[in-house]
Amino acid sequence: MTRPQAQATPFYHLYRLVAQAAMPLLWRRVSRKLGAEGITPDRQRERLGHATQARPDGTLLWFHAASVGESVSVLALVQRLLDMRPDAHALITSGTAASATVLASRLPARCQHQFAPLDAAGPVRRFFDHWQPDAGIFVESELWPQTIVAARARGIPLALLNARLSRGSLRNWRRFDETFRFLADQFCLIRTQDRATCDGLLALGARADTVAQGPNLKAMILPPPVDQDALARMRAAFPGPLWAAVSTHEGEEEQILDAHLAARTTLPGLRLILVPRHPTRADAIARLISDRGLGFARRTQGATPGTAEVYLADTLGETGLWYALAPLVFLGGSFGKAGGHTPYEPAAFATPVLHGPHVANFSETYARFDAAGAARAVSDATALATCLTQLLGDPAQIARMGAAARAISHSQGETLAQVADELLEAIALPLSAPPRTV
């Protein structure tokens, strides 16, 4: 017997009241942050639901993601769906300035970006009045209750892909399991990126006929773009031994710089490209480099690498350039609490990956890479220095690791096609709902 759809709960209604009361304060905070990051006032107002672009004619597939990683992870699927549906357009919404900057140079044809509306009645209503999407696809853990419920009230079929909730999030939702079931019931398809999330959602009461473990979208990520002229210039600027540390977080640069200092005693002339996850931290990182007596140059200041031992690549949207340039990459977020970043981007360039022990966001992925010899775990700065010395002194081993990484990357095409087929089938059969209002 089919379980009746869950109904709105008192906690959901309380959330709506609190969100409405908090709107003025939340808007001031959000607009101030976006303004400080260079977003113009008219684009800031997208978060109030005021669109800055026209809705395209025809079918519109709406994808919502949180920030850079989630937004970029869905681009391959967006492109696949648009190839399958030449009549369709796509809209990607996200909440951060960094995601808008990165997406600006990576959006497929027939695809637009807007900032997501704040999860309050007015912004959500204005957003849907203007865009009127034909389907909504949420990515990872972006579960904004009013946005989700308002979409279903308008008859918009919804899917949740690459769902991932931490143990803490699952534990918190257990306190409001009826509200969780109400939100989960709004989706006609839920696919998780790992078994733990799948089991957790089912334990919370998500419908078994909609929930299953699916492939990780970040395994199907499109290679980031590479400026070939810039790549040629950079290759000429780094003639000796070289490595890169990409997407580093606060607290990791100290260990990376210490590992570099240790490795250069065995590898004379060793140079480092340091790419922070958040370029706004560049001034603090520059001080760390100076404190260790290392010469450096900063990309945002127009400096060429010259003879600087550390090149601080404090820009957004250029990771493809560094993956294509460096023979070996350490991926940040893995020495601290960030949970790691996807190794599939460097794998697209046949670039081997070193990573720390804390990769909870991609535990299954890194297990596969490590087992295939495409990546290697290091426990701390000392282990990182040892690994750098060994691998950079053995180009044949780096080539073998790179080939293994590329093989894993190339194996994802068929899986992407299956995800696209399943999604189109699911959203073509929406849950029963009132007619869409305009």
Q: Which of 44, 38, 52, 42 is nearest to 26 (CA)?
A: 44
Whether 302 is in a domain gets the answer yes
pLDDT at res. 429: 40
294-324: pLDDT as tens digits: 999 999 999 889 999 999 999 988 999 999 9
pTM for this model (two decimals): 0.81
Of residues 432 and 115, the one with the higher pLDDT is 115
Two tokens, residue 214: 């699916």
Q: In terms of domains, do 207 and 243 share one?
A: no
Given the residues 37, 46, 70, 309, select the one marked as catalytic: 70
pLDDT tens digits, one per residue of 78-108: 999 999 999 999 999 999 999 999 899 899 9
Of the candidates 284, 225, 293, 227, the residue with the CA atom closest to the CA atom of residue 253: 284
Does residue 89 share a domain with residue 69? yes
Are 46 and 122 contained in the same domain?
yes
Q: Are residues 327 and 188 in the same domain?
A: no
Give the 3-state secondary structure of residue 97.
helix
Instruction: Give all strands of the β-sheet with 211-213 in edge-to-edge order.
Output: 111-115, 88-94, 59-64, 135-139, 158-163, 189-192, 211-213
d(CA 270, CA 309): 7
pLDDT at residue 57 is higher than 90: yes
Can you give the CATH number for the domain in which 27 is found? 3.40.50.11720
- Rounded CA gap, 156 and 132, in Å? 9
Asked if 215 contacts 419 with a C-beta cutoff of 8 angstroms, the reply is yes
State the Cα–Cα distance between residues 394 and 363, nearest whole angstrom.
28
273 lies in which domain range?
Answer: 228-410
Amino acid letter for position 415: T
Evaluate whether residue 435 is within a structural domain: no
Q: What percent of the chain is predicted at pLDDT more than 70?
A: 97
356/259 Cα distance (integer angstroms)? 13
Average pLDDT value for residue range 3-8: 80
Clarify whether residues 42 and 142 are in a common domain.
yes
The more confident residue out of 111 and 409 is 111
Same-domain check for residues 129 and 264: no
Is it the case that residue 59 has pLDDT exceeding 50? yes
SS3 category, 271: strand
Residue 438 maps to a domain: no
Kindly state the tokens that stand for 287: 């001080």
| 125 and 204 both lie in a single domain | yes
Residue from 436, 218, 175 nearest 345 by CA: 218
Assess whether 70 carries a catalytic annotation. yes
In a domain, 2, yes or no: no
Whether 273 shows a pLDDT value over 80: the answer reads: yes
**Assigned token pair, 190:** 């839920």
